[in-house]
């Protein structure tokens, strides 16, 4: 799903640059607050939010 970055907490990018993915929360009845946000196609930047977009932590993949 496209992530709009409406809060403006990530660097500005054209619409469609960011995509979000739900991180399952054991025992939750809803999607919960945890998400991975990727930037680029293919993704070149990765963020995690555990508080539903209030804060983001950038991370890298080990390949």
Active site residues: 20, 52
CA distance 30 to 63: 32
User: Which runs of E-coded beta strand occur in 1-63?
Assistant: 18-22, 35-39, 45-49, 57-59
């Amino acid at each position: 799903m496209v992530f709009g970055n409406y809060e403006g907490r990530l660097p500005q990018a054209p619409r469609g640059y960011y995509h979000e993915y739900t991180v399952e929360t054991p025992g939750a009845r809803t999607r919960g607050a945890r998400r991975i946000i990727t930037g680029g196609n293919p993704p070149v930047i990765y963020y995690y939010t555990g508080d539903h977009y209030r804060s983001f932590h950038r991370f890298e993949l080990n390949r």
